[in-house]
Amino acid sequence: MKRGQLAEAIGFIFLKLCVGAVLLALVIILYDIVSKGIGSINWEFLTTMPKNGMTEGGILPAIIGTFLVTIITAILAVPLGMGCAIYLNEYAKDNLLNRIIRMSIRNLSGVPSIVYGLFGVILFVQLMRFGTCVLSAGLTLGLMTLPWTITASEEALKNVPKSYREGALALGATKWQSIRTNVLPYAVPGMLTGTILGLSRAAGETAPILFTGVAFFLPFLPKSLFSQFMALPYHLYIMSTQHHAISKVRPLAYGTALVLIALIFVMNLFAVVLRYNLRKVKTE
Amino acid sequence: MAYSRIKENTIHGLFFFNGVLVIVVLVGIFVLLITKSMPAFKEISLLHFLFSFKWNPTASFVEPSYGIWSMIVSTFMVSIGALFIALPLGVGTAAYLSDVASYRVREIFKPLVEILAGIPSVVIGFLGIVLVGPVIAKIFRLSNGLNALNGAILLAIMALPTIISLSEEALKGVPKSFEEASLALGATKWQTLTRVKIPAALSGIIAASMLGMGRAIGETMTVLMATGCALAMPKSFLDSVQTMTATIAIELGEVPYDTTHYYALFAIGLVLFIITFVINMISDIILHKYQRVIK
């Protein structure tokens, strides 16, 4: 018995060390970026163009670019993701087709991001002749985000009690009427939470936009959907590996990393607050 | 009445097409990659492509060579290395959260794991250059720390959230009665965890680690930035390596359109797609079997 307790004590210490190591990694990452990046952040950094071969000035075009491309991602991924989730959860029967669709979704979420990039090059840049631009990059990211938004939306739909649907149907509503009036109003906030989380991941992605529209340096903001653009993640990559004076621009790279992380953090926070409020409404 | 039925059917049809769309996308990726890779295999034999370790597509005086074996080895080396680090840490953390931690600790930890999962790969790669690299260089007395070990450490950090949350789910899926029976027989909590719960959740944990490894194999920016990108057969974890993803990222932007080299890069993409597809399928099968057994 004594030996068992000793083993248990040692075992639990091991588990605590694991947790500690994971926490430590997170703390080091955040501390390093925040402490070294905060010095670069000021109004000028956020609102001006890069200057002198990107050794000075700000990152405005990269912020705008990331913002634009994320909007296009959302336009593609949100409606299609929600639609697919509605089909799977409300309409589809448990048959072979349904299983193939689910298998496809799981596989799509495992397709490497660079492969989405190659797909985007073939489909949007070449076949559809959009060229390398905001639109191509946004659509590529949108396809990549699709499996995440589907999964999140379906989760939200599953949380709506069955009785809500049955109530509407019993009163003579059609299937779509019951979905529209008795399911979606309760599911949409949850769907949005998951979708925003997915979009925040897309905003930080680099590989899919490498060849579909992102540019090294542009002295102006994108003028239309068919212009090239700068993006925060790619800008960080350039500043930390491809720049001719890497050590000189290190503070700017840290600043870019901090802005990128802050952007994603704000999006996540927004999603979490949405979820929290939703829970409160439900329990009231 | 007829009008509303037409409307209902139309809506149903639209959602049906929306559902089928994901199959179209997956098949579309596969078909387009094959079409773009085929021209490359007119020039290169498949065996040479996969198993020769000389990748020199821009050779000007000698015959250009398109072998990706060293990249395949590099990719698996970095990913399996990452799994070695992430699996014990991830399963340990999951076990702590599901069996030891209080409800409050769990609720605090969950968003922290989500934050870790949300950190973009390019930021992790950046930290590989400025943080992990110098430390590795110092410990092993190397001129720089951009090598396979660096990549493995970073990919481990990126795989942790997946492994933690899926393993925790697998551990929670073990029926309560298993645990109660073990405790009633006088086993300690630790014995119950290691000899009852983890074995019962093993297939879920294996599926989780395969998914984590699939992600690691497909990860681009981190390895592109932190592994040094040297095209040679790696001899140890302290060698610089260049993975398949990194090769595509480096070369596709510079290669002339419509050349064998160009198509060969798409062929690497096809190989990546197939590898991750197979890994995902295997983890899927394991997971399904496991769910049936538990039920």
Concatenated DSSP letters for chain A? -HHHHHHHHHHHHHHHHHHHHHHHHHHHHHHHHHHHHGGG-SHHHHHS-EETTTTEE--HHHHHHHHHHHHHHHHHHHHHHHHHHHIIIII--SSHHHHHHHHHHHHHTTS-HHHHHHHHIIIIIIIS---SSHHHHHHHHHHHHHHHHHHHHHHHHHTS-HHHHHHHHHTT--HHHHIIIIIHHHHHHHHHHHHHHHHHHHHT--GGGTTTTB-S--SS---STTS-B--HHHHHHIIIII-TTTTTTHHHHHHHHHHHHHHHHHHHHHHHHHHHHHHHHHH-
- Same domain? For A8 and A64 the reply is no
Determine the Cα–Cα distance for residues B81 and B151; give it in Å rounded to an integer: 9
- Contact of B221 with chain A, judged by CB distance below 8 Å, is answered with yes
A125 in the same domain as A15: no
Whether residue A165 is predicted with pLDDT greater than 60 in this model: the reply is yes
In this predicted structure, what is the pLDDT of residue A93? 87
The segments of chain B whose pLDDT lies below 70 read: 1, 290-295
Size of interface A-B (CB pairs under 8 A): 252
Indicate whether A69 and A7 sit together in one domain. no
Mutate to test the interface with A, among B17, B190, B252, B276 (most CBs of A within 10 A): B190
- B277 interface with A at CB cutoff 8 Å: yes
What pLDDT, on a 0 to 100 scale, did the predictor assign at position A274? 82
Same domain assignment for residues A25 and A92: no
| Residue A97 shares a structural domain with residue A78 | yes
Q: For the structural domain made of B65-294, what CATH number should be given?
A: 1.10.3720.10
Give yes or no for A200 touching B (CB within 8 A): yes
Chain B: closest CA distance from residue A13 (Å):
10
pLDDT in tens, A26-45: 999 999 999 999 998 989 88
**Contact list, A210 vs chain B (CB under 8 Å):** 249, 252-253
8 Å CB contact of B279 and A15: no
Whether residue A148 is found in the same domain as residue A261: yes
A88 lies in the same domain as A33: no
Q: How many domains does chain A have?
A: 2
> Is residue A211 less than 8 Å (CB to CB) from chain B?
yes
> Same domain for A17 and A91?
no
Higher-confidence position of B175 and A54? B175
Where do the structural domains in chain B lie, given as residue ranges? 65-294
Whether residue A119 sits in one domain with residue A10: no
Residues A253 and A113 in one domain: yes
Query: Which pLDDT score is estimated for A284?
Result: 46
Q: Sort out which chain B residues have CB atoms less than 8 A from A103's CB and list them.
A: 284
The pLDDT of residue A282: 55
Q: Does B175 touch chain A (CB under 8 A)?
A: no
Contact B127, B154 (CB under 8 A): yes
Q: Which of B221, B222, B262 has the highest number of chain A CBs within 10 A, making it the mutation to test binding with A?
A: B221
pLDDT computed for residue B110 by the predictor: 85
**Residue-range definition of the domain harbouring residue A269:** 43-283
Give yes or no: residues A116 and A28 share one domain: no
- Interval A215-244 mean pLDDT: 88
pLDDT band at A281 (very low <50, low <70, confident <90, very high): low
Would the pLDDT of A260 be above 50? yes
CB-nearest to A108 from B25, B211, B245 is: B25
